[in-house]
Chains A and B, each alone.
Chain A
Amino acid sequence: MNAHDEPKTGGSHPAFPRRHLLGIEGLQPQEILGLLDRAEEAIEVSRQVEKKKAVLRGRTQINLFFEASTRTQSSFEIAGKRLGADVMNMSVSSSSVKKGETLIDTAATLNAMHPDILVVRHHAAGAVELLANKIDCSVINAGDGPHEHPTQALLDALTMRRHKGRIARLVVAICGDILHSRVARSNIILLNALGARVKVIAPSTLLPTGIEKMGVEVHSSMKEGLKDVDIVMMLRLQRERMAGSFVPSVREYFRYWGLDREKLSYARPDALVMHPGPMNRGVEIDPEIADGPQSLIREQVEMGVAVRMAVLEALSEHLPNK
């Protein structure tokens, strides 16, 4: 890691010469750090009484969500509005998809409305990229199946950096349903790019094939895996995966992989706890930990808005008619 790792605010930011943000994969460390620095400024904006900037004034941002989401969608909506954009939310699961319209049809329809920025979440990996290829505006991936969720990884990195001062050489454990998690994939790529040491801890049934070649240390025991860890990142386990298909039961999962006080004690004493939400208290995390002093979970939500403002702003620099 030769890129600057410490936060830097004020002054100009390195260029972000991209039209879309489809994933963390392929981003240069400097680009990632540049986005984090922009986000630091956005935090300040969000904490002021006057939260409005004019960067996206006159621009149209469409949040196109093929999969239900509360926090990501509202986070993108607030971020866009704070930058002055006109934001429109479309929940497609309830409209045209049911009428049989294909993804490409939807893209063509939207394209005709001349949006400037499209924020897309879709249940299928690769769907956002497919859409980006068919549309003229900037596209931000807000989660495509189990593939990537770049703004989540960025907000996680921002949260970590603000508390630990750096990302390089941090030991980060990502715990739980790695197999189905886009958050895990984006974080693994980002943390490796910035020089962190990444561990994954999960029952082997929830690990993707080849995980050991993804630049992570693999553990199935929380006790072994959490040793020396600075950041414990818990993942949500979907209800339908708890009843015997991937793990036998909630109580067994919580007993061996749920983060409680005892398991957290295996990590470093100053370890911090994160969770992309929404949490299942009593499944992957003990309420005592989720709401305890080591938890950064609330703060992650605030950082989410800041990071999304930073991404929107960075992409806006390359919008046509600029």
Chain B
Amino acid sequence: MAESERPLALINARVVDPSRNLDEAGSVFVAEGRILASGPETISQTPPDGAEIVDVQGAVVSPGLVDMCVGVGEPGAEHRETLASASEAAAAGGVTTIVTLPETNPVIDDPALVDFLLRRARDTALVNVRPMAALTKGLQGEEMSEIGLLGEAGAVAFTNGHRSIASSRTMRRLLTYARDFGALVIHHTEDPDLAANGVMNEGLNASWKGLSGSPREAEFIMLERDLRLVALTRGRYHAQMISCGESADAIRRAKRSGLDITAAVSINHLTLNENDIGPYRTFFKMAPPLREEDDRQEMIAGLADGTIDIVVSNHDPQDVETKRHPFAEAEDGAIGLETLLAAGLRLVHNDDVPLMKLLAAMTCNPAKRLGIDAGTLKPGTPADIAVFDPDRPWILDKAKIHSKSKNTPFEDARFSGRVLRTIVAGRTVYNYA
């Protein structure tokens, strides 16, 4: 960590810090791994003694991204992704904190496994790793996991991964029990019974393709159930990923009634729709499935009006063994850490969502929801920083993907907006050459 010893000054920057609603020209000074000063207060200050001066030439300097839904293969599927390779992908995408899903082998449902992940991350990862633990033992949806002990071990939230909890009674007890610990319950809502064997969004498109569909109702019926249970239990709840307009409406209504709820959407559901599946391209097979264009527009509207708080990559590395199959037989999932910000900037360039709003959903909002010290440039906080040029064009070259798995839905995509440098605790972990 020798580099973190040397102070750093990022000058000639456009400092965008959504945690303070700040968007001004200025600098960011870093010393001893923490933000010393950022934005307007740097105008009257000189960089710290001995600082490395980096002229970012007008690029945006923002808090590093906090990605609240990241699948890694470690432990159990290290050939698809390790904490190290995921962290390299994250760094290349301006993501400084990855919040990991417990869907590993073994499932992260034991305090010793949380401890293992944190130690592995400390020893091998370039970025911060904050594990989520399983909501139920083995993700089976039946017995609640040790929410107290897992939280003490360092789990920042509890999720059942991409598997929904069918039993309303179990969900009720989980929300009730988690409340005693102030723990956040995160749920992927897709009624497994109603979704049946659906492999893409149910509708005309699926029908013509001859693929079985998963109806949008599978998502929002279960979401509405959950919201009723949150009202009953007064639990803390986060909808892991919503994908259709009715879900956004349900969240909007429930927020008005004062429930402690938040919702996220994946970058895929903000930038892609079911038409992108085209000729049965399995890299576009994901959970929840890509929906119709109207739903994508609803997701954008929900993000713009604050109904949707958080944008995630839903990074899910899969290899040829799991993806090179007929569409219906391929695994769900797409990688997304490296393209999260660049794809998100498409919304900014289209004037769908202001930059501040987009960045808030990728930085301070998830950090605040998880109660972690990240997602801000406030002086005194860890110096986790992304430097990016929001207009620089680039093309995603599969050969240059840092993830061990290459299942990106953005292969050869053209982006405007390039991460130039990523800094974690004052140390540069990625530099775009």
Which residues does A use to contact B, with CB under 8 Å? 203-205, 220-221, 243-249, 251-252, 255-256
Contacts A244-B137, A244-B143 given; does A252 touch B149 at CB 8 Å:
yes
Contact with B143, one of A204, A205, A245, A255 (Cβ below 8 angstroms)? A245
Interface contact A248-B143, CB-CB below 8 Å: yes
B 174-199 binary contact with A (CB < 8 Å = 1; else 0): 00110110000000000000000000
**Contact among B146, B176, B179, B233 for A248, CB-based, below 8 A:** B146
**A54 CB to nearest B CB, Å:** 54
The answer to whether A252 touches B143, judged by C-beta atoms less than 8 angstroms apart, is no
Verify A248–B145 contact, CB threshold 8 A.
Answer: yes
Return the chain A residue nearest B140 by Cβ: A244
Task: Say which residue of A244, A245, A246, A256 sits within 8 Å of B148 (CB atoms).
Answer: A256
The 4 nearest A-B residue pairs measured at CB? A244-B143, A220-B180, A248-B146, A252-B146
Complex alpha-carbon distance, A251 and B147, angstroms: 12
| Minimum Cβ distance to chain B for residue A122 (Å) | 26
Q: Are B147 and A204 in contact, CB atoms less than 8 angstroms apart?
A: no
A173 to chain B, nearest CB (A): 16
CB distance from B274 to the nearest CB of A (A): 38
B149, A247: Cβ atoms closer than 8 Å: no
Query: How far apart are the CA atoms of A246 and B233 in the complex, in Å?
Result: 14
The answer, yes or no, to whether B115 is at the interface (CB within 8 Å) is: no
Tally A-B pairs: CB < 8 A: 43
Compute how far the CA of A205 lies from the CA of B233 in the bound complex, rounded to whole angstroms.
10
Query: Taking the nearest CB of chain A, how far is it from the CB of B139, in angstroms?
Result: 13
Residues of chain A contacted by B177 (CB below 8 angstroms): 203-205, 247-248
- Chain B interface residue count, CB cutoff 8 Å, equals 16
In the complex, are the beta carbons of A205 and B145 less than 8 A apart?
no
Q: Other than A247-B144, A248-B177, give 9 A-B pairs with Cβ distance below 8 A.
A: A203-B177, A204-B177, A220-B180, A221-B180, A244-B136, A244-B137, A248-B146, A252-B146, A252-B149
**Which of these, A204, A244, A252, A255, contacts B176 with CB under 8 Å?**
A204
Check if A246 sits within 8 Å of B145, measured CB to CB. Answer: no
Q: A243-B143, A244-B142, A246-B173 are contacts. A204–B179 as well, Cβ < 8 Å?
A: yes
| Chain B positions near chain A (C-beta within 8 angstroms) | 136-137, 142-149, 173, 176-177, 179-180, 233
Point out the residue from A204, A221, A251 that lies within 8 Å of B146, measured CB to CB: A251
Complex Cα gap A203–B144 (Å): 13
Q: What are 26 of the A-B contact pairs (CB < 8 Å)?
A: A203-B177, A204-B177, A204-B179, A204-B180, A205-B173, A205-B176, A221-B180, A244-B136, A244-B137, A244-B142, A244-B143, A244-B144, A245-B143, A245-B144, A246-B173, A247-B144, A247-B177, A248-B137, A248-B144, A248-B148, A249-B146, A252-B146, A252-B147, A255-B148, A255-B149, A256-B148
> Which single residue of chain B is at the shortest CB-CB distance from A221?
B180
Q: Establish whether residues A248 and B147, one from each chain, have CB atoms under 8 Å apart when the complex forms.
A: yes
- Closest Cβ of chain A to B231, distance in Å, is 14
Question: Considering the chains assembled together, what is the distance between the CA atoms of A204 and B173 in angstroms?
Answer: 9
Instruction: Give chain A nearest CB distance to B163 CB in angstroms.
Output: 16
